[in-house]
Chain A
Amino acid sequence: MKLHEHQAKTIFADAGIPVPDSRLATTVDEALDAVDEIGYPAAIKAQVHVGGRGKAGGIKIATDREEAEQYAEEILGMDLKGYTVDEVLVEAGVDFVDELYVGVTMDRGEGKPVLMVSTEGGVNIEEVAEENPDAIAREHVDPAFGLHPYQARKVVYEAGVDADVALDVASILSTLYDLYEENDASEIEVNPVMITSDRDVVAADAVMNIDEDALFRQPDLAEMAEASYEDDLERKAGEYGFDYVRLSGNVGIIGNGAGLVMTTLDLVDYYGGAPANFLDIGGGAKAERVTQALDMVFSDPNVDSVVFNIFGGITRGDEVAKGINEALAEFDEIPKPVVVRLAGTNAEEGMEILNTDLIEVEKTLEEAVQRAVANAEEVSQ
């Protein structure tokens, strides 16, 4: 789960990390009130979960009121890589002489958190990692002991940060690690940390992602997660408790188990279609879950056809079929063609029970996907 920049910066500021003065605004008037208080230059920054906001036109620096008004009008309501901008952060411009990158993330391969520091801040760090990996200094943290303060200093010196600000940067890094642990973050990144002409150190951006599996013990962050849905269908999926990802195609996909649902998406693509979503309903396939899942894909205007792929393991195919029939009975009409494929335990019994007046049934995964792709082509013509 990704926090917005303004949410992360509030957490940073509360922990004592220096951040620029800022206000959140949802209208042009609010944005102008904010710049009147903050002064110029002021950055107007779109609050959406999109990387490379600056390049995409989502961050502008205003040097006077006229520019501030123009930029706020441009950015509020703009479409940024498929996301509509509802909020901007109006932030005091920082007069900087140098930019650094600092971050804490989980190194999956090592199974340990890792601190990262680079003097090549302010640019896409993934590109730095690829083209010049030695420009990023790294230090692994033993999760049983936590961070030893010397480690933060070591990695900052190793990265070649100027000596007069090194301890201030190390202090920010230590605090970031504490926040990483306290908040069950999966990633915290400040890019850039700005060094001002007065040799102050300021966190000018903030990325903070939270481990979704830990939200049960992070109630405040869970609330922020609810507030940060940017898509009605994603919000609905959250309410139903489904694993759901919206994609850009027109073949709706419902299945059980992440690997099998991903495979179904891949097959839709392989047979010339385009997947509209990833939707994993998990184990069981009870009628209520099936109804909710169908409701989700039917209410996606991009969906032209649906493929429903269930592998019955412990849950028998005939039970799954009964659940699907009950769910179908909940709908007055089936608005989009649905192809169902059942496999596994008692799959044949299940397929005999299915109400084929309302849906089509195919025996293999490959056949079901091909049929759904053909249906989508027919509907979209």
Chain B
Amino acid sequence: MSIFVDDDTRVVVQGITGGEGKFHAGQMIEYGTNVVAGAVPGKGGQEVDGVPVYDTVDEAVEAEDADASVIFVPPAFAGDAIFESLDTDLDLAVAITEGIPTQDMAKVNKRLSETDTRLIGPNCPGIITPGEAKLGILPGNIFSDGNVGLVSRSGTLTYQVVDNLTERGLGQSTAIGIGGDPIIGTSFIDALEAFEADADTDAVVMCGEIGGEDEEQAARFIGEHMDTPVAGFIAGRTAPPGKRMGHAGAIVSGSGTGTAQSKIDALNDAGVPVGDTPEEVADHVEEFL
């Protein structure tokens, strides 16, 4: 089992004719994902790697029975693309795009609260259930099939931790990058709740970073609602206040909230060991299993 995606997931790629979209659609297909359609306005009727392209997501869903989308649309148009996914009532939309204006995401967030669609991202590497499906840009070959769930705000940090796990023979059930923006769809808590309910996930890794209070809230959720053991990692211990550390969401505000220490303390209070290095995170997972 797994969470959110598996080998039945049928994917439409929004922006499949662009450089990134075309390349990663090919990578997803190579991994074994059911990429059934592309959606690009004005490109209906074309084919990319044998995948039929439609002008709208609605047509793609109608013709190919897609139930999930992956969005590779430039920032200026990505908010609109996410709305299109939400308004088509897909089960899942994964927004890879980095750099969507926050005020656009606030509007998306409002619409999201009125639909049943799950949004992952934006500004994320996507989601992978090893051996079954990958929706996004994660490098498939570093993952292996197993029973460790992983949820992270970051891309390459996720790969680093997965690499450490895979090297020790600790495979993954599903790995999700939830994104580094201030306003995102799926939260840590959403993913943790799903992992807790998944019979085949026996341990979870949660990689957070500075900014916001999502990690603190997730820590409370773990303490109150989870039996599955969780190991944590928090990036940004050395970040100075007021500076944006790459991710739009990774900023410690002047008031002292969002610091690495407050997140580490909250996780420790919930019984979650937090590694000082990625290797130590793998140590903790090994102890759990």
Contacts and interface: CB of A to CB of B under 8 A. Distances in A.
A314 B75 CA distance: 21
A56 interface: no
Contact of B27 (A184, A217, A261, A314): A314
Interface in A353-368: 364-366
A58 interface: no
Contacts of A212: 244, 248
Contacts of A186: 102
A120 B23 CA distance: 55
Given A258-B180, A343-B163, A365-B160, A314 B139 contact: yes
Interface string B222-258: 0000000000010111111011111111100111100
Nearest to B76: A216
B76 A217 contact: yes
A126 B258 CA distance: 13
Nearest to A245: B243
Contacts of B244: 212, 243, 245
Interface string A251-289: 000011111111101111110000100101000000000
B182 interface: yes
A262 B139 CA distance: 21
Given A126-B256, A259-B154, A269-B237, A184 B159 contact: no
A130 B262 CA distance: 15
Contact of A259 (B100, B158, B212, B277): B158
Contacts of A263: 157, 160, 233, 235, 278
Range of interface residues on A (Cβ < 8 Å): 35 or more
A211 B142 contact: no
A245 B245 contact: yes
A244 B235 CA distance: 16
B111 interface: yes
Nearest to B210: A262
A262 B239 contact: yes
A144 B235 contact: no
B167 to A, nearest CB: 10
A267 B107 CA distance: 38
Contacts of A243: 244-246
Contacts of B243: 245, 278
A244 to B, nearest CB: 9
18 contacts: A108-B212, A126-B254, A144-B110, A213-B248, A243-B246, A245-B243, A245-B245, A257-B154, A259-B158, A260-B157, A262-B157, A266-B260, A275-B238, A311-B160, A313-B142, A313-B155, A314-B139, A343-B159
Given A211-B101, A259-B247, A314-B139, 20 more contacts: A106-B102, A109-B212, A111-B110, A126-B253, A143-B103, A243-B246, A245-B244, A255-B156, A257-B156, A257-B157, A258-B250, A260-B155, A260-B160, A261-B245, A262-B210, A263-B160, A265-B236, A275-B238, A313-B156, A365-B160
